[in-house]
Structure 1
Amino acid sequence: MSMREGEPEPSRAVAKLQALVRIPTVSDRDPAKVDVQAFDDFVTELAVQFPVLHDTLELTRVDSHGLLFHWSGASAERPVVLMAHLDVVPVEGTWQHPAFGGDVVDGNIWGRGTLDDKGSLVGICEAVETLLERGFTPAQDVWLSFGCNEEVSGTSAVLAVEELARRGVRPWFVLDEGGAVASEAFPGVTAPIGVIGLTEKGVTSLELRVEGRGGHASTPSPMGPTARIARAIVRLDRAPMAPRTPSPTIELFRRMAPHGPLPLRPVFANAARLKPLLTRALLAAGPETSAMTRTTFAVTTLSGSPALNVIAATARAGVNIRIMVGDTVADVLEHVRTVVADDQVEVDIVERNEPSPVSPMDEAFELLEATIGEVFPDAVAAPYVMMAATDSRFFTEICERVYRFAPFRMTKAQRQAIHSYDEHLGVDAFVDGVRWYQRLIERIPA
């Protein structure tokens, strides 16, 4: 990798990421289980690693450890918000290298948060630090919004939005994590795809509950609470909601067409006209592509009797639902009740979020696309529907252009390591990501 004047210095940037990965900022839905000292240490270390940024930008503390920086530009007419989060999920599984070691081995930085989402946080900060050292002033105001409880759907992003709204800030666009420069993204597609999320599925969780008399296991009655819950789960599993292929997915496949398997190129290129055929192909290709076409239901928690010889008085099943663009929470509830078809199964809403609005592919999207083309010339920039949830969904309240893209090359194995074990980010990929953020800020138009 050749260096040009004014670009980030690789070893410096990597050392900063290592230092921050080593701080175990694990979030938890129960505040009593959060290591507050780790979050205090992270905020302190961030200031040590990025002194110019902290000396120059205005900082507003949000929530317990959320950070909102304001970088005054030449104009405040079209401000830009760059997002990341400093919390991580717990460590699970057996790792090749310590999860909070930040070790550099075989050209990769290993550790929880390298991909989700400290890589982006440090990448943004290093790009800003480098530009500040050069005396650069952005064409528009730039805000850095770093949440502290994204992994548990916390309030820091909501409070950041409230603070921006209080100040009258209406961003031109918002950029958060989400997409990537993904290799092995689709079977037979040779080029890496720089996927930019235009929207994300709505995350809704339900609890199915059946109450009964309970009693001794020696005298069971037919269709007790556990049997009814089991039947409800099976019915739900066998009756998915109708598939649909939204416009970002159609455009994704149209752009991939020249790089896809030869027999499928005509289908990809004419995705809009051949939508039913494309939808059937995605449904048949496996769970990952099937999830691109419909609202999904995953039964994630089950509970019944506390003892082997006791009939459950209450049986519960937790269902995590990712709602496709075009469906609504109301549609989901109607579907569940219709399919389960049992008045004794109570349906309680634990969490509800509608799908995010679809952001336009206008000048702001073209800026992201052009920057991808400059830093990753072999990649095909394309829109998509993000399956997971990010803090950026809250920013749709104040901005119509909310995009999700992390500028790092990721293999399929790396993407599978997110929220799993052996999370790691290539050193070269990280430095390219820093360079991408820097070029994006430099490209913001007046």
Structure 2
Amino acid sequence: MTALPTEYKHETLGAVAAERLSALVRIPTVSSRDEREVDHAAFRRFADALRAVYPRVHSVLERETVGGHGLLYRWRGASETRPVVLMAHQDVVPVVAEDWAGDPFSGEIRDGAVHGRGTLDDKGSLVAVLDAVETLLAEGFTPPQDVWLSFGADEEVGGTCAQVAVDGLRQHGITPWLVLDEGGAVATGAFPGVDAPIAVVGVAEKGIADIELVTTALGGHASTPARGGATARLARAVVRVDRHPFPTSLPAPTVEMLATLAPHAVGPIGSVLRLLLRLGALRPSAGGAPGRPDVVGRLTAPLRALLARLLGASDPETSAMVRTTVAVTQLQGSPGANVVAASARARLNVRIAPGSSVDAVVSRLRRVVRDPAVSVTAIASDDPSPVAPTDGEQFALLRAAVGEAYPEAVVTPYVMLGSSDARRFHAVWPHVYRFSPFAMTREQRWSIHGAGEHLTVDALGRGVVFYRTLLRILPS
């Protein structure tokens, strides 16, 4: 194991953490919905590796296993009044090896970065948390509050580890003052017109639904096909879904994000945002005083609607900020090239914007498909999470920690586009946030769940600085 550094600058911290991350990436902790496909030995090796590379953590903190391979640590602090939960997950998604230039589980350190599946999602965060704790323990530091570390092992498949951890904390009588999971990042090229790095802190996350379209018809030999069969009807339904995207809207966290970015935006988009800011259109609706209409909200509603439509017509990342999205991810027809399908199905992955719901999504999709012969069914789903406040001590604490690691970044709330284990915590406790303290380019963000995933050593070191700062400045 690399010796602990004597100076705690991000360059030195990053070099040490990179070696640990490299070793952990080489352990292929791939999760699957099919229990038979899970390599349980890999998860056991991962837990053993954590014990080996973080000796101080494992000599001081209490550790228990939850939900199979999930890990829950307790670091007893000077007080139990405001416990904090820091989260990450051990598991990664499968790889398509031929899409990678090299071994996707190499953990190779080259060109100033650690390469491999899980570096960004989410072993990098796990390493940054544990390196922060390990180095603070080396200094003899005791946190002002109890700190819990929750590292699930089935986040990528929407598993049970996080819920078991929530249930365990509740049984301990723990009410977290702050929960922080993976989520936003210090992003560049994330918003049109803004060149400054943006530290986007998720205060909510979209809902998620796996929805299945299924239709049946008379099958048979491919030499005697009938028109309008199952595959044709399914294709028509899929095209209708693709041609009718969900309408755009600006939920409160997105409005706050736009107001935060307005002073930093350049070009036409900057001018528009600053105009809307002056007009009062970039603020959550106050709702008016009791018995009185919200005059500002009524006057600026058309401007906000226009802005939402403009953003919705932008690149996919920006468009996803302002609407419910639908991705057609799986298609299934007949079992053979010369067989007419007796049934055909499509799987849709839907990310549900705040203010909507699973039921509303299913109802709209049925209207769009317009075919009673095509069933539309939610297979697995979660509604959007609640919205965490941005006007309290918790968000101010996150802002301060970001400022220490990335002083040039603009900190803003946003709605997380993906889903995370944090939604299990947010269903119970209000102050749940989502932020991965790493600088990420657009290319890196697209590599998550794709090929070429990598985390720079510089960003990893800054992530350790972020967590060290967060733990040091917790209120007494």
Report how far residue 257 of structure 1 moved: 1.6
| 1:197 matched residue in structure 2 | 202
Matched, 1:45 2:49: yes
For the 8 Å contact 1:97–1:110, the answer to whether it is kept is no
| 2:410 matched residue in structure 1 | 380
Superimposed CA distance per residue, residues 118-174 of structure 1 (whole angstroms, 9 cap, x where no aligned partner): 111011001011111111111111100000111111111111111111111111111
Give TM-score scaled by structure 1 length.
0.96
Correspondences of 1:382-421 after superposition (within 5 Å): 382-421=412-451
For the 8 Å contact 1:201–1:389, the answer to whether it is kept is yes
Q: 1:352 is paired with a residue of what secondary structure?
A: strand
| 2:65 matched residue in structure 1 | 61
For the 8 Å contact 1:7–1:130, the answer to whether it is kept is no
* 1:106 counterpart (96, 103, 111): 111
* 1:430 counterpart (460, 464, 467): 460
| 2:40 matched residue in structure 1 | 36
Report how far residue 50 of structure 1 moved: 0.6
| 1:89 matched residue in structure 2 | 93
Matched, 1:352 2:356: no
- Output the CA distance in 1 between the equivalents of 2:360 and 2:456: 42
- Output the CA distance in 1 between the equivalents of 2:59 and 2:437: 26
| 2:292 matched residue in structure 1 | none
1:288 aligned partner, one-letter code = E
Q: 2:93 is paired with a residue of what secondary structure?
A: coil
Report how far residue 98 of structure 1 moved: 2.8
Report how far residue 182 of structure 1 moved: 0.6
Superimposed CA distance per residue, residues 41-65 of structure 1 (whole angstroms, 9 cap, x where no aligned partner): 1100100011111111111111221
Report how far residue 96 of structure 1 moved: 3.7
- Output the CA distance in 2 between the equivalents of 1:422 and 1:217: 41
Q: 1:28 is paired with a residue of what secondary structure?
A: coil
Matched, 1:18 2:18: no
For the 8 Å contact 1:6–1:134, the answer to whether it is kept is no
- Output the CA distance in 2 between the equivalents of 1:99 and 1:233: 33
For the 8 Å contact 2:362–2:377, the answer to whether it is kept is no
Give TM-score scaled by structure 2 length.
0.90
- Output the CA distance in 2 between the equivalents of 1:247 and 1:143: 30
Question: What is the aligned-residue RMSD (CA, Å)?
Answer: 1.6
| 1:325 matched residue in structure 2 | 354
| 2:166 matched residue in structure 1 | 161
Report how far residue 248 of structure 1 moved: 1.1
| 1:286 matched residue in structure 2 | 315
1:44 aligned partner, one-letter code = D
- Output the CA distance in 1 between the equivalents of 2:166 and 2:426: 9
Matched, 1:295 2:300: no
Runs (5+) with no aligned partner, structure 1 = none
1:32 aligned partner, one-letter code = R
| 2:286 matched residue in structure 1 | none
For the 8 Å contact 1:88–1:113, the answer to whether it is kept is yes
2:74 aligned partner, one-letter code = H
For the 8 Å contact 1:171–1:398, the answer to whether it is kept is no
What's the % identity of the aligned pairs?
Answer: 52
| 1:237 matched residue in structure 2 | 242
Report how far residue 263 of structure 1 moved: 2.2
Correspondences of 1:119-268 after superposition (within 5 Å): 119-268=124-273
- Output the CA distance in 2 between the equivalents of 1:207 and 1:340: 12
2:371 aligned partner, one-letter code = D
Report how far residue 187 of structure 1 moved: 2.9
- Is the alpha carbon distance of 1:350 and 1:60 closer, same or farther for their aligned partners in structure 2, counting shifts above 3 Å? same
Count of residue pairs brought into register by the alignment? 444
* 1:315 counterpart (341, 344, 347): 344
For the 8 Å contact 2:66–2:161, the answer to whether it is kept is yes
| 2:74 matched residue in structure 1 | 70
- Output the CA distance in 2 between the equivalents of 1:201 and 1:374: 29
